[in-house]
Amino acid sequence: MDYVFLIPILPLLSFLIILFTKPIYKKAGLVGTTLTGAAFLCSLVVLFSHFAQGNYLVEANWFSIDTVMISVGLEVNPLNALMLVIVTLVSFLVHMYSMGYMANDERYATFFSYLGLFTFSMTGLVLSPNLLQLYMFWELVGVCSFLLVGFYFYKPEARAAAKKAFIMTRIGDVGLLVAIFLLFWQTGSFELDVIFQAAQAGDIAPSLLTLIAILIFVGAVGKSGQFPLHTWLPDAMEGPTPVSALIHAATMVAAGVYLVAVTYPLFSASEVAMTTVAVTGGFTAIFAATIALAETDMKRILAYSTISQLGYMMLALGAAGYTAGVFHLTTHAFFKALLFLAAGSVIHAVHEQNIFKMGGLSKKLPKTAALFLIGSLSISGFPLLAGFFSKDEILATTYGDGRYVLFVIGLLTAFLTALYMFRLYFLVFLGNRSTEAREAPSVMLIPMMVLGVLAVVGGYIQTNWFGTFLGDWLETTPYTIAFVHPEAPFWIPLVASLLAIGGIAVAWLVYGRKTSIEESNERNGLHTLLYRKYYVDELYQGLFVRGSRVVAYFWMYVDRFIIEGGAAAVTYAVKRFGQAGVKLQSGQVQTYSTVAFSGLVVVLLLIAVLGGYF
Amino acid sequence: MNESFLLTILILSPLLGIVLLSVMPGNHRFINYMGVLGTVLPLVLTLIVFSLFDRTVSGVQFVEYRQWFELMTSISPNEPYTVAYDLGVTGLSVLFLMLASLITFLASLTALRLKESAKGFYILFLLLELGLLGVFVSENLFLFFLFFEITLVSMFLLVGKWGGFNREKAAFSFMIYNGIGSILLLIVIIVLFVEMKTTNITELTMLLKETDSLEFLSGDTRTWLFVLLLIAFGIKLPIVPFHTWMVRVHVEAPIAVVMIHAGVLLKIGAYGLLRFGVGFFPQQLKDMAVVLAILGVINLLYGAFIALVQTELRSVLAYSSISHMGIVLLGVASFNTAGLQGAVFQTISHGLIAALLFLLVGVIVDRFHTTKLEELGGVASQAPLFAGFLLAAGLASLGLPGMSGFISEFLAFLGLFESMPVIGSVGILGLILTAVYMLRAVLAVTFGERRPLFDGIRDLTAVEIVPSAILLSIIIWIGVYPAVLSNTLQLARTIGIGG
């Protein structure tokens, strides 16, 4: 356990080594992969020693504000031990995969240095025992995401997407920041433990606690691409595909869910906050799923799918399903990373992202196709795969919590998920369009296979049949949280499975049977609405982007005309006053004596009046 | 600390360079190098002071005291007014001193490119440094004022002679605004001197604190003095609407001078507010805290919004400075340890970041001969190192954690949220705007399609990498380990508030 500091340090080392030795080009991937692999091993060791030794915390003084000493530290508890394994594993696999995917990029080394920085920041975030430290890493992962989304910096779309990703998430971050300030003045500390104790002891007024929880959730909404701050995530697909797998599917975007989970004692103390989380999550889940139905870009479909699945996780957390949320986070990390890597393999082979321009690829890329199929089945909740168990857990909790509307939304989303995933699968891999394509090298296939196995078996850590290992372990916490484990009605998994299979069947009827389908440009009203993503981007563009420019121009003109103009008017007045003085200096003795005489009169009058002679 | 001459030697050290430069022929090959060398000695001496500074005790250190002259007045014939020559440094001023010497040295490097009349430039440059060093080590108001005026005169000439197209207008604008500020400051100094019979800063702080009974000055007088002080240093900081001169100087002055201007000179405004405003008139400041906070928010948002639509990089950075100085005001207004610490951190941090940004702007001017955003773009293709530094500087400026800007803003806002959460919530929107305008400007330069026009452009050279790397490492160092500032600052002791 004392070596837990190695987990963030190794990727940091990778970042620094690659940054300062860029000329050694081809070694960068190897260095990064090895060091991240080592970090993964450390995480495994930490996970297993957590089973044996329990929680771990080490802290050191950092700096002081008045008498309050702010510390930095590393904490290991069930939640973040699990996160560490997920983060380092996916990061390791993505590093390895990128050695193939990025092989011909001239900024190969830069790419790996960014990946190292990201892995460092993400593990640092997970290990943080206090909110200030967490916030710092929270922003750092955001910056890594920004750098990697804008990796192809010469593309104008990438530039716009990177900027958007940073700004949209920062809007959320400000909410989190305010929550941290409020908590500090309520509890005098940034330490999560101190804060939770204060909250449990009732030291924070309930209404304020609700406000704080919701502000924290605002941060989570930004990071996890929940409605209404979701628009950056699909655009973030401008980044290289391995990045989408690592940052925008498996780890960073899940940090929002993680944040809610980490501050769960605050949420569970406020019914309003819980409902906010559940409703936002449920709405986002179905909202994004419907957009995915009409999207034509392979990566963007997966991005909307990520938003939707993150919505599921939020729904679970809001419905008191702590384990369900974290469980789905875990399985989602596996199958979504798999889907992105497989999509990357396709893009790598055919250099095309529009699903209507692809087809028949299962013949050319049989391994990728098989792996993509596993991922699609898992995310759709096909019985006995990883996604099935975690989705079932979410649905059961939502039902058990008495949120029936959200439960129905969850079921509908399950159907939609199967539908849009298999629309994608059938269009890309079936049919008999023939495209030139070569299967990816094994350095790319092996990571996908590892994830493929996990996407199949990952669900068995938490089932009602074999045992709820994950839940029993996760829910060992010193705080009194009402963890809900409803006795799920037997029909929920049954209905969910039927809906999943139904979704696949519908996709087959529409897209699977035909040999080749052209993208139609004629869309009816609903289709257009979905295709334009409910016009949210246009709305924001008009409202906020234009709005702030209008305000900016207004102030600029105030600056130019009122402030500078005012200053110019003062200068002008002084100048005129001076010129008037110049006129007096005419050289005529008569003028001078008139002025002198009038002055004398005034003085005498003053003396007479003020002196009291009148 | 016993009698020592260290500080006197320090403030006179730029004179060595001035003397050597003035005996060299103006067209000498090494004239620029001589100028740079001239800033090295003060830097070394400052480093000595900085490392000898005892962080475990409170109070003024390296004190030098000599009687200078006496004034006999008819008001109190038996008690002459004594004006002394006294120097010293506190935890606050030693940080500013360090900032001044370091940035002057780094700025002098960027002037190596200067071809014409380098001799005069470096002589004035060193004179400016002398003024700056003097400002931060003066322990009495007369000396402070004297050195403050030296900086004005040398700045005026530097901007007016070596500036850009509109240099003369900028120089006069600078002189008029700052002249008005000086007059107001002088009024405050004279009133304090007449009433308190001393101009020693520490003594004044103690006296004014002890005499809350208003033995010396009535509450109203103090309020007026505080307002005058606020305007005097507000012009320098600058506080909206006294900022137009500063934008002009940012745009017109030669890069080396802008680095000092944005990095150190404007910081005299913050230094004055903290040392004199907070030190002399704490009660008045508390009473007017809401006004200050509102002024801070206006600065923050006003600067940020205007920066958003500027089409020229230097103007973006000028308005960005205004915006960032708003955060200093917010920290001061919160008037608790967190906020004041944040204000000091923000001042130092912005000094470093602004210097770095303008250093890089200097590179842009040198290579691309334009700072218009639309004429730049895609530079990352041809000059990756430069692009990397510019991006890092931009991120530092928008308050990325792990860099000095974050911890400063964090502390300032943390402080503000204790007393004024509503104003804080409005102000914090500035953090979003900062990200928007900073990324817009930086990405407009570095990202985007490769422009064949810039092919063959030279990336950073060694003489540019070294200062950039030094600044960036300090920025990161403070961001990662803020105790480096707070240990020296020892805020509660320096400014004398309990928190």
DSSP state string for B287-310: HTHHHHHHHHHHHHHHHHHHHHT-
Residue A106 touches partner B, C-beta closer than 8 Å: no
- Counted residue by residue, chain B has a size of 499
More confident residue, B214 or B217: B217
Question: C-alpha B481: how far from its chain's center?
Answer: 22
Residue B3 pLDDT class (50, 70, 90 cuts) = low
Each residue's pLDDT tens digit, B168-181: 888 988 998 999 99
Q: Do A163 and B302 touch (CB under 8 A)?
A: no
CA distance B379 to chain A (A): 9
Residue B498: the pLDDT is 35
pLDDT band, residue B491 (cuts 50/70/90): low
Task: Report the residue of A118, A181, A575 to disrupt the B interface, i.e. the one with the largest count of B CBs within 10 Å.
Answer: A181
> How far apart are alpha carbons B273 and B279 in whole angstroms?
8
Considering chain A, what percentage of its residues have pLDDT values greater than 90? 33
CB-based contact (8 Å) between A67 and chain B?
Answer: yes
Q: Tell me, yes or no, whether B498 lies in a domain.
A: yes
Q: What is the structure's pLDDT at A278? A: 93
Predicted confidence at residue B497, as pLDDT, reads 46
Overall average pLDDT of the B92-108 stretch: 92
pLDDT at A133: 92
Which residues on chain A are in Cβ contact (under 8 Å) with B495? none
Q: Is the peptide bond before B452 cis (omega within 30 degrees of 0)?
A: no
What is the reported pLDDT for A516?
Answer: 60
Assess whether pLDDT exceeds 70 at residue A517. Answer: no
Of the partner residues B337, B395, B417, the one whose CB lies closest to the CB of residue A182: B417
Cα distance from A574 to chain B (closest Cα, Å)?
A: 12
Q: How far apart are CA A65 and CA A450, in angstroms?
A: 48
Residue A485 in this model has a pLDDT that exceeds 80: no
| pLDDT (0 to 100) of residue B499 | 30
Interface of A with B in 258-277 (CB under 8 A): none
User: What confidence category does residue B186 fall into, taking pLDDT thresholds of 50, 70 and 90?
Assistant: very high
- A528 pLDDT exceeds 90? no
Chain A window 155-174: which residues touch B at a Cβ cutoff of 8 Å? 155-156, 158-159, 162-163, 166-167, 170-171, 174
Name, in order, each residue with C-beta under 8 angstroms of A487's C-beta and a sequence gap of 6 or more. A400
Count of all residues that appear for chain A in the document: 614
Q: What percent of chain B has pLDDT over 90?
A: 42
Cα Dmax for chain A: 118
Give CA–CA dist B49/A361, Å, rounded. 72
Residue B84 has pLDDT above 60, yes or no: yes
The reported pLDDT for the residue numbered A568 is 84
Tell me the average pLDDT of chain B: 87
Range of the domain at B445: 288-499
Tally the domains of chain B.
1
| pLDDT given for residue B403 in this prediction | 92
pLDDT in tens, A101-157: 888 888 888 889 999 999 999 999 999 999 999 999 999 999 999 999 989 888 888
How many Å lie between the alpha carbon of B37 and the closest alpha carbon of chain A?
30
**pLDDT (average), residues A485-509:** 84
Contacts of A17 (CB under 8 A, 6+ apart): A31, A35
> What mean pLDDT, rounded, does chain A reach?
86
For residues A48 and A25, give the distance between their C-alpha atoms in angstroms, rounded to a whole number. Answer: 36
A145 CB neighbours in chain B (<8 A) are: none
For tokens 């005299």, what's the residue? B268
A412: distance to nearest CA of chain B, Å? Answer: 36
CA distance B26 to chain A (A): 38
A518 has a pLDDT exceeding 70: no
> Are B401 and A162 an interchain contact pair (Cβ–Cβ within 8 Å)?
no
Residue A557 pLDDT class (50, 70, 90 cuts): confident
Measure B34 CA to nearest chain A CA, in Å. Answer: 33
A177 CB near a chain B CB, below 8 Å? yes
Identify the burial level of A45 via C-beta atoms within 10 angstroms of its C-beta, where 0-12 means exposed, 13-18 middle and 19 or more buried.
middle
d(CA A124, CA A11): 10
Q: Is the pLDDT assigned to residue A584 strictly greater than 80? A: no
- Average pLDDT for A72-90: 89
Closest Cβ opposite residue A181 in set B337, B414, B486: B414
* B233-292 pLDDT per residue, tens: 999 988 888 888 888 898 888 889 999 999 999 999 999 998 898 888 888 888 899 999
Check residue A519 and give its pLDDT: 67
The per-residue pLDDT for B492 is 57
pLDDT of A4 over the 90 cut: no
The yes-or-no verdict on residue A417 having pLDDT over 90 is yes
A18 CB neighbours in chain B (<8 A) are none
Answer whether A19 touches B (CB < 8 Å). Answer: no
Q: Which residue has the higher pLDDT, A580 or B342?
A: B342
Amino acid at B469: A
Spatial distance between the Cα atoms of A131 and B369, rounded to a whole number of angstroms: 46
Q: Which of A64, A135, A174 sits opposite B432 (nearest CB)?
A: A174
Q: Work out how many CB contacts closer than 8 A connect A with B.
A: 123
pLDDT score for B348: 93
Whether the predicted pLDDT of B18 surpasses 80: yes
Q: How close B39 gets to chain A, by Cα (Å)?
A: 30
Instruction: Flag if B450 and A67 touch (Cβ within 8 Å).
Output: no
Is A64 near chain B, with CB under 8 Å? yes
- One-letter amino acid of B170: A
Q: Per the domain annotation, does B325 fall within a domain?
A: yes
Would the CB atoms of A156 and B449 count as touching at under 8 Å?
A: yes
Nearest to B341 among A65, A552, A563 (CB): A65
B chain contacts of residue A155, beta-carbon cutoff 8 Å = 449
Beta pairing partners, B321 = none
Write the pLDDT tens digit of every residue in A347-381. 888 888 888 888 788 888 888 889 999 999 999 98
> 3-state class of A361 per DSSP?
helix
A57 forms beta bridges with: A75
Distance to chain A for B347, nearest Cα, Å: 17
The answer to whether the Cβ–Cβ distance between A178 and B429 falls below 8 Å is no
CA distance readout (Å), A272 to A45, A211, A276, A283, A502:
39, 9, 6, 16, 35
Nearest-CA distance from B145 to chain A in Å? 25
Q: Is residue B217 part of a domain?
A: no
- Please report whether residue B81 resides in a domain: no
Mutate to test the interface with B, among A15, A20, A61, A63 (most CBs of B within 10 A): A63
Chain B residue nearest residue A68, CA to CA: B338
* A25 shares contact with chain B (CB less than 8 Å): no
Kindly report which listed range (A150-159, A525-534, B467-476) carries the lowest average pLDDT score.
A525-534
Least confident of A391-395, B11-15, B54-58, B479-483: B54-58
Which residue, among A18, A20, A65, A575, would best test binding to B if mutated, counting the most B CBs under 10 Å from its CB? Answer: A65
- B380 vs A559: CB contact, 8 Å cut-off? no
Segments making up each domain of chain A, as ranges? 334-519, 541-610
Q: CB distance A181–B305 less than 8 Å?
A: no
User: Residue A586: what are its φ and ψ, rounded to 5°?
Assistant: -90, -15
Interchain contact, A153 vs B449, CB within 8 Å: no
CA distance A457 to chain B (A): 39
The answer, for A340 touching chain B at a CB cutoff of 8 Å, is: no
Q: What is the pLDDT of residue B104?
A: 93
> What pLDDT shows up at residue A89?
93
β-strands B81-89, B61-71 pairing: antiparallel
Calculate mean pLDDT across residues B349-378: 89
User: What does the pLDDT read at residue A483?
Assistant: 65
Residue B169 lies in a domain: no
Residue A421 contacts residue A342 (beta carbons within 8 Å): no
Is residue B497 in a domain? yes
Q: Residue A292 above 60 pLDDT?
A: yes
What local confidence, expressed as pLDDT, does residue A524 receive? Answer: 76
In a domain, B408, yes or no: yes
> Is residue A10 within 8 Å of A39, Cβ to Cβ?
yes
A327 pLDDT higher than 70: yes
Residue of A nearest to B298 (CA): A555
Any domain includes B263: no
Beta carbons of A177 and B424 less than 8 Å apart: no
Whether residue A549 and residue B309 make contact (CB cut-off 8 A), yes or no, is yes
Q: What is the mean pLDDT of residues A64-82?
A: 84
Residue A487 at interface with chain B, using a CB cutoff of 8 Å: no
pLDDT tens profile A234-266:
998 988 999 999 988 888 999 999 999 999 888
User: How many whole angstroms separate alpha carbon B193 and alpha carbon B201?
Assistant: 11
